[in-house]
Amino acid sequence: MGKKIVTAGDRVYLKFFDLEFFHEKAKEAEAVLFPFKSFDDKEFISEIADTDALILIDRQLNKKHIEAMQKCKIVLALEVGYDFIDVETATEKGIIVSNVPTYCTNQVAIHAFALLLSTYRKIKTLMEETSRGGWDYNVSKPLYEITHRKLGIIGLGRIGRAVVPKAKGFDLDILAYDPYIADDIFKLLGVKRCYELNDLLSESDFITLHVPLTDETHHMIGDKELQIMKNDAVIINTCRGKVIDEKSLYKALNNNIIAGAGLDVLEKEPPDKDNPLLNCGNAIVTPHASWYAEDTLERLKMQGMDEVIRVLNGKRPWYSLNPEVLY
Q: How far is the CB of 297 from ligand NAD (least distance, A)?
A: 12
Q: How far is the CB of 31 from ligand NAD (least distance, A)?
A: 27
Q: How far is the CB of 240 from ligand NAD (least distance, A)?
A: 5
Report how far residue 280's alpha carbon sits from residue 153's, in angstroms, rounded to the nearest whole number.
24
Q: How far is the CB of 230 from ligand NAD (least distance, A)?
A: 20
Q: How far is the CB of 147 from ligand NAD (least distance, A)?
A: 26
Which CB sits closer to ligand NAD, 164 or 280?
Answer: 164
End-to-end CA distance of the chain: 29
User: Phi first, then psi: what are they for 159, rounded to 5°?
Assistant: -75, -45
In single-letter form, the type of residue at position 140 comes to: S
240 is catalytic: yes
Which CB sits closer to ligand NAD, 87 or 239?
Answer: 239
288 is catalytic: yes
Q: Of 149, 161, 193, 240, which residue is the catalytic one? A: 240
The angle subtended at Cα 13 by Cα 7 and Cα 18, nearest 5°, is 95
Report how far residue 124's alpha carbon sits from residue 252's, in angstroms, rounded to the nearest whole number.
19
Which CB sits closer to ligand NAD, 152 or 260?
Answer: 152
The side-by-side arrangement of strands in the sheet containing 234-237 is 192-193, 173-177, 150-154, 206-209, 234-237, 260-263, 283-285
List the beta bridge partners of residue 174. 151
Q: How far is the CB of 289 from ligand NAD (least distance, A)?
A: 7
Report how far residue 158's alpha carbon sits from residue 106's, in angstroms, rounded to the nearest whole number.
9
Q: How far is the CB of 52 from ligand NAD (least distance, A)?
A: 27
List the beta bridge partners of residue 4. 32
* Element containing residue 234 per DSSP (H, E): strand 234-237
Which positions touch ligand NAD (CB under 6 A)?
80-81, 101, 104-105, 108, 154-160, 177-181, 210-212, 214, 216-217, 238-240, 264-265, 288, 290-291
Which CB sits closer to ligand NAD, 66 or 78?
Answer: 78
Which CB sits closer to ligand NAD, 154 or 277?
Answer: 154
Which CB sits closer to ligand NAD, 89 or 107?
Answer: 107
Report how far residue 310's alpha carbon sits from residue 305's, in angstroms, rounded to the nearest whole number.
8
Q: Of 20, 269, 298, 316, which residue is the catalytic one? A: 269
Q: Which residue is nearest to ligand NAD (CB)?
A: 157
Report how far residue 245's alpha carbon sits from residue 299's, in angstroms, rounded to the nearest whole number.
32
Q: Of 65, 288, 307, 310, which residue is the catalytic one? A: 288
Which CB sits closer to ligand NAD, 73 or 111?
Answer: 111
Q: How is 177-221 classified by DSSP, letter by letter?
A: E-TTS-HHHHHHHT-EEPSSHHHHHHH-SEEEE-----TTTTT-B
Report how far residue 319's alpha carbon sits from residue 101's, in angstroms, rounded to the nearest whole number.
7
Candidates 107, 110, 112; CA nearest to 292 is: 107
Candidates 187, 242, 234, 184; CA nearest to 211 is: 242
- Supply the residues annotated as catalytic: 240, 269, 288
